[in-house]
Structure 1
Amino acid sequence: MTDQLERLGRLPLRENLRGLRPYGAPQLDVPILLNVNENTYGVPEDVRSAIVEAVQEAVSGLNRYPDREFTVLREHLAHYLGHGLTADNIWAANGSNEVLQHILLAFGGPGRSALGFPPTYSMYPLLAGSTGTAYVTGSRQENFNLDARSAAEEVAATGANVVFLCSPNNPTGTALTQEVVAEVYDAGEAAQAIIIVDEAYAEFSHEGTPSALELLPGRERLIVSRTMSKAFALAGARLGYLAAAPEIADALRLVRLPYHLSAVTQATAVAALTHSHRLLANVNEIKRQRDRIVTELTGMGLTVAPSDANFVLFGGLEDPRAVWQGLLDAGVLIRDVGIPNHLRVTAGTEKETSIFLETLESLIRPSVS
């Protein structure tokens, strides 16, 4: 890696990219993968068949460019989200990361800044840097929550042009109140800040947890970002999307690459949305395993962040790296997210969760502080 970085350093890179490492979690061949918040249940057989059939039909027209406006897909996404949304309110791209990149290309850039509240999704500063947008950070409470007043004050003080609010937050799993979103939105008025609520894990929220979709009417600078990677078990399909005022989608058309969503991607996503009830059937079981993890880790004497996502952040570890390695040696891969004394685990199937918990308990006692 040192030689690779030295060779890279000899190229005329932009200054803000020098010394950086690319984003990426370890990709290891182990029996139980609980490190990148994938849906470990996979795609049901009948939905796989429907997707294959849809893709097969799309393949017959691959000599032609796909629908540049992905109209049918936007209609299906609007129907899925509800809240009175129409296709005009929807934008989509190759994963929610590309959606966020489009937003920064349109509303960020040189001379502008984006604000995030770490610990949060580690791609935010990388996406900002790749678009020449300065990245500034706000603060969270000790329990990883955001206080509406202090968050709004930081938005106003920084004058940020783009604000990232992640709910449920990755890597902590904590959800935002609507008060936080509303006050942050109002605080960005002077800078005309674009407020992004990243709801990649929204389908896993506890019953009664509100979505920022409810706040969209009358807020033309508010964006709610979603993905089909998690609850829909389609991480390999790479389809992210957003809901916002129609003029937001109009702005993103100025920066997207031509025909950026392939015919195969569109066909896959439409087929999946047509069978959304089947793809989402395992969400409640994943939530049950998540809550089981929270309960059992708390019983082990660990500190556990309340989670509205499909993962759990836990702390109180004297040597988290040794625990991570011990789990890996047993065939269980989880994530070290860089928060001192903490690790993060995805909620998997009942069997995967049981193996994780049993292995962790065998490792944890001497590591609990």
Structure 2
Amino acid sequence: MMNHEVIHFINSKSKRVAIIGCGQLARMMALAGMPMGISFSFLAEPQDDPAPVKDLGYILKADHQEYNAQELYLLLGKPDVITIDKENVSVRLLKQLNQFCKVYPSPQAIEICQNRKLEKTLLNKLGLETAKWQPADNVEAIAHAGMDIGWPLVIKSCQTTSQGKSQWLINNSKAIYELTHELKPQHSYIAEQLVAFDRELSLISGRDIYGNIKHYDIAENFHPAGVLLSSIAPADHLQPQLIEQAQQAAEAILKKIDYVGILAIEFFQIGDALLINELIPRVHNSGHWTQIACQNSQFTNHVRTIIGLPIGNTSATAPASMVNLLGVPVNQEILQDESLQLHWYNKEMQENQKVGHINLSHPNAHSLTAKTQQLIADLYQPQDNQLKAS
């Protein structure tokens, strides 16, 4: 039996959006959409913490495997459209839900982005450069890849997983057999060239149902401890031809898979060349700076596009940056700076967990960089000297 909250959601005259997931990205999508009069519901599975979306809409706490698609559609409040806040979601479920309402990005697009083999194949068919790679589902295939591509190799699972490792660095042929107990027969894998890149960049792009495409400034990302710590946009000293190359790549991908919503693309810059590392079919951590610098943040534009509105302006008013709060609180002294924009996720404080982020903006790019580095120092150096701005 439906409770009064979901009945109220169904009876709402506003557009109804259901989000598969209930983390900070779902939170910020809802906060962006609510001023437009949009109502939200969220699927919180047993392993999920729904705290970030508390009081932002109806929360369905359920294991999706215990219901058929029609039951889930009804329990989610008969939404007009369904979207995701994580790519580790059942494509089979999304395809079934698509029989009852729109799902954006499409299940087919999400499936390609979930599977590294499908993703790399798409990119290469479009003539877009990636690191050299080969399918490598067993130790023999890995050995062949080592001979063809060269060592070292990164072995990547083609299936997204929330448990256990999904990547391994193999330095030589002798190290292959250490993977024997790690590789799962039911999974597929690729062997990828280890790339010595100069820096990581990301492009956040969006496409609406009418085929309009817009791009945000390209950001440079910093991972001093293996987890994204900060992003700054626009990336410093990025040649115009590389910006054009990245945007053309995004447009080719968005059109080919008939994408609707926000897509993030991670690039490796090597000298004057760009290699695509990964496609992320959702709003992305490296695009949070758009909340302070743009008329329409990535969250606003994702919501706009999936409900059928034209994609909004993506121009930035000034250079901007974002610093993740990785298991650290923000003291009142830092918050005295009125130029900082704090986003808190309502999560419990845990080591290295993303509990919030801070956005900054400044008309001068060099001043912004200095201010971002000082903020990181103030937040982290007393606790962890490994986390430093690059």
TM-score (structure 1 length as normaliser):
0.34
TM-score (structure 2 length as normaliser):
0.32
More strand by share: 2
Using CA pairs below 8 Å that are at least 6 residues apart, which structure has the higher relative contact order?
1
